[in-house]
Every structure is written in structure tokens, then in C-alpha cells.
């Protein structure tokens, strides 16, 4: 029997990562984010941290959000993406999981993964600013710059590798505005819809 996978892409500050963790807990699935995927690639022999260093310093957590594959050498970036694409496909076949970011929706769609439910989470700019300042402790005079730079980095990364806009519905089953609904309730909706799709896939496989 195949595995079920939920992918979640998100705007910076839209609470996508916390929601993804709640979904994984509610579904009893493994949670996979950038750090776990990068660690898998490192085990395969590709020294990501060395490839991504900027100005002879390691990238911070925010650098990694702004520059998903680092900056500079396109050959190294392509090598990293190819390795992460393979890692995502392999991880998705091992067990039921929730995968955050890294074009995982596109990668698994291209791999013809049937039991796949992809969600994109967004929110109005002020909600995202408040979340960044209150939950991520970003200074008020820095928050606008962070949002612009992370949004730009993610959009360029997604467009380059998928060929479509970061806000496109092409590889998503659902788009959710996280503005006025509690995280737990958003997670409940995602779980409900994902279960519906997975059940339909199993039904079709039996026919």
C-alpha cells in the first residue's frame, strides 16, 4: 500500500509551519521541513552548508528562507535542488508525511504521486507582520524588509523550478487564508480534506 503525503507551501508569517506541525500531529504523520530534507541530502554526501556559505560565513535561519539554495553558483544550486528532489521523493515513499516547502508539491506531482494533498497558506500583510514581530521576534523596523526578501526568495525559487507563480493553483489542491481562523481549526480542515482525497484514491485503485 502506498503512502499518503500532505505538502504545505506558505507565505512568510502566514503560520504555515506551525499549521503543518499540527496537521502532522493530528494525522499521525511524520513532519518533514527544510532542515530534515537538508540532513537527508547531507547523508547522501552533498555538503549543503559548505555549498551555501555566503561571504565565508554560514547562513542563518533567515538567510535560508531568503535564499532557499544560497546565492551565486547556479551549478551548485542545481545540484542541491536535484539532490533535494530525490530526497523528497524517497522520503515520501517511506511513510505517511507532511512536507513543508522545497517545491514538494510540484516534485511529487511530477512524480505522479496519487495520494498527495497540497495546500498553500497565505495571509494579509499586516497579519504576517504581526506574526513576525510577536512570534519570531523580528524588530518592527526590520519586519517589512524580511517579508519582502523572504517572499522574493521563495517566489523566485518556486518559479525557477516549477515554471509557475508561487501563488498559482497549478500544483495545489487548496489555498487557505490563515487570517481569522485558529491554527487548530485550519489544521482540522486540511486533515478532513486530505482524508477525503486519500480515501478517493484508494477507492479508485480498487476499481
* Residue 24, C-alpha cell as written in the block: 502532522
Give per-residue pLDDT as tens, 3-52. Answer: 999 999 999 889 999 999 999 999 999 999 877 666 666 665 655 555 55
Positive or negative, the Cα torsion across 34, 35, 40, 46? positive
CATH code for the domain in which residue 179 is found: 3.40.50.300
State residue 27's pLDDT score.
96
Give pTM, 2 decimals.
Answer: 0.83
- Backbone torsions φ then ψ of 81, nearest 5 degrees: -65, -40
Task: Quote the pLDDT of residue 137.
Answer: 84
Q: What is the pLDDT of residues 130-156, one digit of tens each?
A: 988 888 888 888 889 888 888 888 888
Q: In 80-207, at which residue ranges do the beta strands (DSSP E only) sit? A: 97-100, 116-122, 174-177
Number of domains in the chain: 1
* Domain extent at residue 55: 5-206
Amino acid at each position: 500500500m502506498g503512502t499518503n503525503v500532505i505538502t504545505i507551501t506558505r507565505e512568510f508569517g502566514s503560520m504555515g509551519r506551525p499549521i503543518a506541525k499540527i496537521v502532522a500531529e493530528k494525522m499521525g504523520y511524520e513532519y518533514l521541513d527544510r532542515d530534515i530534507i537538508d540532513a537527508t541530502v547531507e547523508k547522501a554526501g552533498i555538503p549543503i552548508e559548505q555549498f551555501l556559505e555566503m561571504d565565508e560565513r554560514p547562513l542563518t535561519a533567515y538567510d535560508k528562507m531568503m535564499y532557499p539554495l544560497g546565492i551565486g553558483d547556479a551549478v551548485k544550486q542545481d545540484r542541491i535542488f536535484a539532490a533535494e528532489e530525490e530526497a523528497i521523493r524517497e522520503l515520501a515513499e517511506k511513510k505517511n508525511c507532511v512536507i513543508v516547502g522545497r517545491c514538494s508539491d510540484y516534485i511529487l506531482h511530477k512524480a505522479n504521486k496519487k495520494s498527495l494533498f497540497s495546500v498553500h497558506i497565505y495571509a494579509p500583510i499586516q497579519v504576517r507582520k504581526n506574526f513576525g514581530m510577536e512570534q519570531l521576534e523580528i524588530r518592527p523596523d526590520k519586519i517589512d524588509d524580511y517579508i519582502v526578501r523572504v517572499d522574493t526568495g521563495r517566489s523566485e525559487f518556486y518559479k525557477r523550478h516549477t515554471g509557475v507563480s508561487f501563488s498559482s493553483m497549478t500544483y495545489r489542491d487548496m489555498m487557505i487564508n490563515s487570517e481569522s481562523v485558529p491554527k487548530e481549526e485550519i489544521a482540522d480542515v486540511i486533515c478532513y480534506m486530505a482524508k477525503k482525497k486519500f480515501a478517493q484514491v484508494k477507492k479508485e485503485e480498487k476499481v
